[in-house]
Amino acid sequence: MIPINQFGRTKHASNRIIFGAYALSKATQVEADDVLSLLLEYGINHIDTAPMYGNAEERIGPWMEKHSNDFFLATKTRSRQYKGAWEDLQRSLSRLRVDTIDLWQMHGLTNPVGWEKAMSPGGALEAFIEARDQGLVRFLGVTGHGSKVPKVHLQSLEHFDFDTVLLPYNYLQMQNPRYATNFNELVKLCRERNIAVQTIKSVARRPWEGQPRNSNTYFYEPLETQDAIDKSVHWSLGLEDSFLITAGDMKILPKMLDAAKRFEKRPTETEMNTLIEMSDIKPIFTY
């Protein structure tokens, strides 16, 4: 059985594996139905999506009409202004066919200029607070990609008491001392405040540079063998009380779910260093 933990202060008992709906960005409804059936088979009760994930919200919508009580549903906005964020929320509610979204997140909040816009008067944060006060969303979060995310998330949490954070986390990324220091500081603060920590990029192999994209993942070429995915997923799940979001690839999803189901302990450094060498794993983000 895939482990279950309390999702921060939300009182949601979430699987430690969250379905990353970018996998549905180019999916047909038939493909999406197969994926969502697989989630139910594994008992997954948490979905993370976004308006920018292609067809994902529209593909999830028909399922929400029947299974809204089975899933904790998260989506996002990339708008940094009140008006744009509010419009994104209304579209998401319509596409997902729900009256309330469990978690609404600021998508990719890492750029300093965008951060200032989002947090200033007339910015997205005002829409977030208003939506929560109106009952359209229940909880609020911030997400980000790249090497600077932990530090920016710390800045966001100093400004506003968000309920969740989302950021990259894998063995190779944590070998960068600056990233690791900021990441660990963020996790410490989140544990003190009972803020849920969501991680991404667990099965990243290397950047796509010059390679054909035979996968739906955006930032990176993913690991593909079950053994490599097992070790990477198990290492990421070794971060206690965290939640791992699956890669944006329908082909990789069953392997990640299978790995999570068999999680017992984190692989050793020797095992992970051997994996890096054998699989030619390279950083996808650098300072």
What is the reported pLDDT for 259? 97
What does the block give as tokens for 255?
């392997």
Q: Is 243 in contact with 16 (CB distance < 8 Å)?
A: yes
- Res. 216 pLDDT band, cuts 50 70 90: low
Helix axes 226-237 and 269-279, enclosed angle (nearest 10): 140
Which own/partner contact pairs does 25-34 have at CB distance under 8 Å and 24+ positions apart? 25/53, 25/54, 25/55, 25/56, 25/216, 25/248, 26/54, 26/55, 26/216, 27/55, 27/56, 27/59, 27/250, 29/59, 29/62, 31/250, 32/59, 32/60, 32/63, 33/62, 33/63
**Does the domain made of 4-279 have the CATH classification 3.40.50.2300?**
no
Q: Calculate the alpha carbon distances from 85 to 104, 117, 147, 178 in Å.
A: 10, 12, 25, 32
What is the reported pLDDT for 15? 96
What does the block give as tokens for 273?
């260093």
- Res. 117 pLDDT band, cuts 50 70 90: very high
The C-alpha atoms of residue 204 and residue 145 are separated, in whole angstroms, by 13
What is the reported pLDDT for 165? 98
The C-alpha atoms of residue 67 and residue 39 are separated, in whole angstroms, by 12
Q: Is the pLDDT of residue 112 over 80?
A: yes
